[in-house]
Structure 1
Amino acid sequence: MKAAVKLGLTSFGGPTAHIGYFREEYVKKRKWLDDKLYADIVALCQFLPGPASSQVGISIGILRGGLLGGIISWLGFTIPSVIILMLFAMFISSTGSFDSGWIQGLKIVAVAVVAHALIGMQKSLAPDRMRISIAIVCAICNLLIPTVVGQIGIIIAAGLFGYFHYKKETVEPTPKMPLTFGKKTGIISWIIFFTLLILLPVFKPFFKSDYYSMFDIYYRVGSIVFGGGHVVLPILQREVNVSSDVFLAGYGVTQAVPGPLFTIAGFLGQVTEGTIGVFIAVIAIFLPSFLLVIGTLPFWSYIRSKRGIQAALKGVNASVVGILLAALYDPVFTSAVKTPADFVIVLITFTLLIVYKWAPFKIVLISALLGAVLHII
């Protein structure tokens, strides 16, 4: 718990940075696992839908302390940022200050942060000409078909293309993972995952409850989003009934706090349904991660050794880059940049983030300050 809370309070910078923080803490400092096993876990979590960094933390907690260890690891890494975002949502909801300059600055900084994430993900997930082409095609399709069903179809199509294009490549065998449960528990977890995913929407008409509807939305989003917190942006924007100003203000603040980007669910839950909404939204959006990790870990060594799975994964990862590229334009850029002055802030924050390597939380504070100054002027 101590290690997880430390990471939850200090892990700024998004999912890619979190992977580095985890390695420093769990592999180098505490030596709970070696680099090879850690790399296997990271590869698994990049493949699964949901927040990759949270899933890595959950997986390490499970390997270290069983199912209870996974829950403790998640709580320590997630709760600090949930509390901060909940308090922020209370503040702007009570003051109604959605139109203030610093809120505009928070909306603008999302452009620089998402662009930065896009560059990093392209280098690792779409490093060659073919995968860049897949990403561009997926971005075009996502912009032309801006629906959840369309996005799922894009990911499946990219996976099928990857399978046929890369299936002749070989992969190295991977070691087994030390677990306190076996394949039976994994199968039960998969059954629960798919049962909730299928039946929650089916029974929705019979439950006239905002809380039930909220659980259904966030569970579904947590179940189908590939690529982590940045990619969840366009889906939540469409699914949650809040204005673009409120949504991007919360997204901007999420960049300034440590922990997983999926904790934006805590902000949105507070804005829409109060404190109860925070618990429902956060539990619902992270529950699929637990079920998927528990369901997949017992089978991962076998699955990862299969050439076809690795081939499909290359196409899926490239599609993630394309989806993020589409999100950079809509809703991030179109909702945040309204004037040349707004774009000036984008250029400043992007330069500080990319060229000067400033920490994201510093960039967020600077953007909020610049937004406030321009609002006064």
Structure 2
Amino acid sequence: MFEVFLAFLKLGLTSFGGPIAHLGYFRAEFVERRRWLDDRSYTDLVALCQFLPGPASSQVGMALGMKRAGWPGALAAWVGFTLPSAIALTLFALGVTHWTALAQSGVVHGLKVVAVAVVAQAVMGMARSLCPDRLRAGIAIAAAVLVLLVPYSVAQIAAMIAGALIGRFALNLPPSAAVAQDGFGISKRAGAVLLALFVVLLFGLPMWASALHSRLLLLVSEFYTAGSLVFGGGHVVLPLLQSALVPITYLHDDVFLAGYGAAQAVPGPLFTFAAYLGAVLPDSMQWGGAWGSALVMLMAIFLPAFLLVMGALPFWQVLRERHGIQRGMAGVNAAVVGVLLAALYSPVWTSAIHSRADFALALLAFGLLVFARWSPVWVVLLAAAVGWAGWL
């Protein structure tokens, strides 16, 4: 287990560039260097984690830890990969909380502006891969229109359900090839229990929070729901959490987006944005102080990813051979592009772009990310420096 923790801690400290880059780092480390599994098994594992909602790179890491050292290894992999960025974002949250001028500073404004470029890049990349035909492009546009006209989380969920139904009955996709199954040491019975627990928590947590009138449970249920519905990468967590949390917690969009911008500058999974949000909650909504709340919200958003990947591993071959499931998931992924496109306008654009200089910096950051292929961390640091210099 300690071997797994150290391996993933190194990656948690050095893996910049988002989930696709993370998967490349994982392949180099665990397929080529350590030879924990072969290339075909790794590719099939990546396919499963991209099929499921949640942070794909973290789910791959959990499964690799499970394969190497069992259940303790899965936990060690998650802790090692997540800990560095979670600590960094919690410290940033403490700075925003204790020095309120920081949230209105030029540095934070630069982080908000660069978020426009980061989300625009994500929308463009996802649209190319997930909306390659007219039908899926239409699903994406319809989802964006729905979410813009009905700015509540229920609209986002409705858009994904509609995308799944349209994909299931209207898309025509070639079936994927069958592959050998590797359950990673998890029995089908254990997998079924984990999947059942995922469903129970998804529907039970909101009802439990409502029955007990508990704000803490309500927040936990919102983070858990967001972690359960994020398809297409960590960027999609932005609109889900913003629409769910800002009305409940009264967090200002400036504070919300400052953390999202800072999350681009740290290694590891983007889902550690949840630690920042837990730490900046109002004192009356915190549990165990800023650090305790950061830990609770971090665990809440990652728990569905853990339950899903561990529960699905024993059934993956059966799942991937069902053509209807493949078509439905393709429709969901197209709807996700639309949800993120709507988020690009609100809250990202509306909260960050207030002048010609703001737009110029956003364009510069977008060009550096997309055409110059700069690492996101350097683009984020450049935007923060521009803001600090007072140019904005």
TM-score (ref. length: structure 1): 0.95
Separation in structure 2 between the aligned mates of residue 84 and residue 144 of structure 1, nearest angstrom: 36
Deviates more, 1:357-366 or 1:322-331: 322-331
Q: Which amino acid aligns with 2:383?
A: S
CA shift, 1:124, in A, is 2.0
Deviates more, 1:49-58 or 1:253-262: 49-58
Match of 2:195 among 180, 190, 212: 190
Separation in structure 1 between the aligned mates of residue 367 and residue 210 of structure 2, nearest angstrom: 49
Match of 1:132 in 2: 137
Separation in structure 2 between the aligned mates of residue 331 and residue 345 of structure 1, nearest angstrom: 18
Separation in structure 1 between the aligned mates of residue 380 and residue 172 of structure 2, nearest angstrom: 43
Q: Which amino acid aligns with 2:77?
A: S
Match of 1:353 in 2: 369
User: Structure 2 vs 1, CA of residues 43 and 6 (structure 1 numbering), >3 Å: closer, same or farther?
Assistant: same
CA shift, 1:169, in A, is 2.9
* Identity rate, percent: 49
Does the 8 Å CA contact 2:67/2:184 hold for their aligned counterparts?
yes
Match of 1:91 in 2: 95
2:274 matches 1:265: yes
Match of 1:248 in 2: 257
2:346 matches 1:322: no
Superimposed CA distance per residue, residues 236-269 of structure 1 (whole angstroms, 9 cap, x where no aligned partner) = 1122221100001000000000011110110011
Counting only pairs closer than 5 Å after superposition, residues 43-122 of structure 1 correspond to structure 2 as 43-96=47-100, 97-122=102-127
Separation in structure 2 between the aligned mates of residue 137 and residue 35 of structure 1, nearest angstrom: 38
Does the 8 Å CA contact 1:171/1:306 hold for their aligned counterparts?
no
Superimposed CA distance per residue, residues 272-323 of structure 1 (whole angstroms, 9 cap, x where no aligned partner) = 1211101110011101111111111110111101111112122122122121
2:16 matches 1:7: no
Separation in structure 1 between the aligned mates of residue 67 and residue 318 of structure 2, nearest angstrom: 17
Match of 2:186 in 1: 181
Q: Which amino acid aligns with 2:158?
A: G
Separation in structure 1 between the aligned mates of residue 147 and residue 123 of structure 2, nearest angstrom: 15
2:360 matches 1:344: yes
Does the 8 Å CA contact 1:155/1:319 hold for their aligned counterparts?
yes
Superimposed CA distance per residue, residues 67-111 of structure 1 (whole angstroms, 9 cap, x where no aligned partner) = 221111111110110000011111121111211111100011001
Does the 8 Å CA contact 1:118/1:325 hold for their aligned counterparts?
yes
User: Structure 2 vs 1, CA of residues 266 and 34 (structure 1 numbering), >3 Å: closer, same or farther?
Assistant: same
Does the 8 Å CA contact 1:45/1:52 hold for their aligned counterparts?
yes
Separation in structure 2 between the aligned mates of residue 129 and residue 151 of structure 1, nearest angstrom: 21
Match of 1:226 in 2: 231
Q: Which amino acid aligns with 1:201?
A: P
Does the 8 Å CA contact 2:11/2:25 hold for their aligned counterparts?
yes
Equivalenced residue count is 376
User: Structure 2 vs 1, CA of residues 209 and 152 (structure 1 numbering), >3 Å: closer, same or farther?
Assistant: closer
Separation in structure 2 between the aligned mates of residue 287 and residue 168 of structure 1, nearest angstrom: 32
What is the RMSD computed on CA atoms of the aligned residues?
Answer: 1.6
Separation in structure 1 between the aligned mates of residue 259 and residue 368 of structure 2, nearest angstrom: 21
Give the 3-state SS of the residue equivalent to 1:374 in structure 2: coil
CA shift, 1:178, in A, is 4.2
Separation in structure 2 between the aligned mates of residue 178 and residue 225 of structure 1, nearest angstrom: 24
Match of 2:149 among 144, 149, 160: 144
**Structure 1 segments unaligned to the other structure (5+ residues):** none
Separation in structure 2 between the aligned mates of residue 27 and residue 119 of structure 1, nearest angstrom: 30
Does the 8 Å CA contact 2:265/2:381 hold for their aligned counterparts?
yes
